[in-house]
Amino acid sequence: MVGTGNEPNLFVCKSCSAFLDREEADERAEGNQLFLKLLEAQKNHSPDNILNIQPVGCLWSCVEKRSCVVSFVCRQKYTYHVVDLTEDSTTDLLQFSLLYQQSEDGYVLPAKIPGKLRSHLLARILPTPESIPT
């Protein structure tokens, strides 16, 4: 369940797959495997990490070399969209989530982005202003 406050969310595309057809994506998909690995790794990670890890059907970035896609999202913070991940990315993703949580606006200096995440960052999107007309 997505948090109701300012908890950061990590949306994981569970249908991303480099070897399965879009129509036949299932639990074998690399995105789903990444999601499961993240849940398991989160159990053994810092208790200060209040990250809500959520599976989503599709993040629309799984074109050939961009499978295994995630987005870090939090109200009034930058959104980070990271692509072409592997199951080995779990530690880097959880380390990044702590930096993201500790930052007031979600901005993480590029030099501090752990491991290979820096080279897999597709987009950093500005925070949504609080006063958007509805």
Domain ranges of the chain: 9-125
Q: Cα 36 from chain centroid? A: 13
Q: Would the pLDDT of 131 be above 60?
A: no
CATH class for the region spanning 9-125: alpha beta
Residue 22 pLDDT level (bands cut at 50, 70, 90): low
- Residues 76, 58: Cα–Cα separation, whole Å: 23
The whole-number pLDDT of residue 4 equals: 46
Return the percentage of the chain with pLDDT > 70, whole number. Answer: 79
- Residues 82, 78: Cα–Cα separation, whole Å: 13
Q: What is the mean pLDDT of residues 28-35?
A: 85
In contact, 20 and 28? CB cutoff 8 Å: yes
